């Protein structure tokens, strides 16, 4: 293979059998179960890096079921998002995610910088209850429940929340172990078709684990919960802050 062939074809590893196809990536019937809760502000300060800031000690714990996505297939993920501002722009800082499929782990980390690790999240309906759970190996790390489709949600408010950007801390190490890429990435969900959205009573439990650290932001008070289904396109990102630039260091 010629040098120019490498330059032309390289976008993911391994070179001759990429872990995922090129985007864009469209998700059909993508299902979100999000519980918003109040946490310890001191704990939040330890995990939200500058220059992002948070106004209140609020966390959104998400379960996301993706039965049909281009390139990535069928999988489930879960994780925590912190409402923040960056340069006056409101959005959500994606703190950590856990999912059950290699292709979106590789694609999410390599392309955008999603903080993804392999685990066993589940989202399902059990009789009258929407149930989300996260196991890391055999250990239960998160358990969430919500009354199934109790009250229709405010569609405009849900669409407005889906239109906000999200922020990721993308880290790629050099061969000597130092950071070669360390930057904040901003992305949007695009071409959103909201199919249904609901609110209702909810509960959330987070449990300590050495490697699955969702419990580092403890649940002090559950504030709200929303359950929705939508078709979306996951937009590619832009770099909004580079930690390694001399003028910013």
The percentage of residues in the chain with a pLDDT greater than 90, rounded to a whole number, is 97
pLDDT tens-place string over residues 105-128 = 999 999 999 999 999 999 999 999
Query: In angstroms, what CA-CA distances link 73 with 25, 27, 119, 131, 144?
Result: 10, 9, 17, 22, 25
116 classed as catalytic: yes
* Full-model pTM: 0.95
For 228, the 3-state DSSP assignment is strand
- Answer yes or no: CATH 2.40.400.10 is held by domain 21-242: yes
Residue 247 pLDDT more than 60? Answer: no
- What confidence tier does 248 reach under pLDDT thresholds 50, 70, 90? low
Give residue 244's pLDDT.
93
pLDDT tens-place string over residues 132-157 = 999 999 999 999 999 999 999 999 99
Which of 40, 20, 202 lies closest to 116, judged by CA?
20
Per the residue annotation, which of 22, 53, 116, 149 is the catalytic one?
A: 116
Domain residue spans of the chain = 21-242
pLDDT tens-place string over residues 197-237 = 999 999 999 999 999 999 999 999 999 999 999 999 999 99
């Amino acid at each position: 293979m010629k040098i120019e062939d490498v330059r032309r074809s390289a976008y993911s590893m391994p070179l001759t059998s990429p872990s995922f196809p090129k985007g864009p990536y469209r998700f059909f019937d993508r299902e979100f179960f999000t519980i918003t809760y109040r946490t310890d502000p001191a704990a939040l300060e330890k995990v939200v890096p500058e220059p992002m800031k948070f106004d209140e000690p609020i966390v959104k714990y998400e379960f996301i079921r993706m039965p049909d996505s281009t390139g990535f297939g069928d999988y489930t993920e879960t994780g925590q998002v912190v409402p923040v501002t960056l340069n006056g722009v409101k959005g959500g800082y994606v703190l950590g995610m856990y999912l059950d499929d290699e292709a979106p782990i590789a694609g999410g980390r390599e392309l955008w910088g999603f903080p993804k690790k392999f685990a066993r999240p589940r989202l399902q309906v059990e009789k009258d209850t929407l149930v989300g759970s996260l196991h890391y190996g055999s250990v239960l790390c998160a358990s969430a429940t919500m009354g199934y489709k109790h009250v229709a949600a405010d569609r405009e408010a849900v669409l407005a929340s889906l239109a906000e950007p999200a922020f990721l801390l993308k880290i790629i190490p050099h061969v000597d172990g130092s950071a070669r890429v360390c930057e904040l990435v901003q992305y949007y969900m695009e071409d959103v078709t909201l199919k249904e959205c609901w609110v209702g009573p909810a509960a959330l439990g987070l449990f300590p684990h050495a490697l699955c650290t969702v419990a580092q932001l403890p649940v002090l008070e559950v504030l709200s919960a929303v359950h929705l289904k939508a078709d979306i396109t996951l937009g590619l990102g832009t770099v909004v802050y580079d930690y390694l630039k001399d003028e910013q260091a």
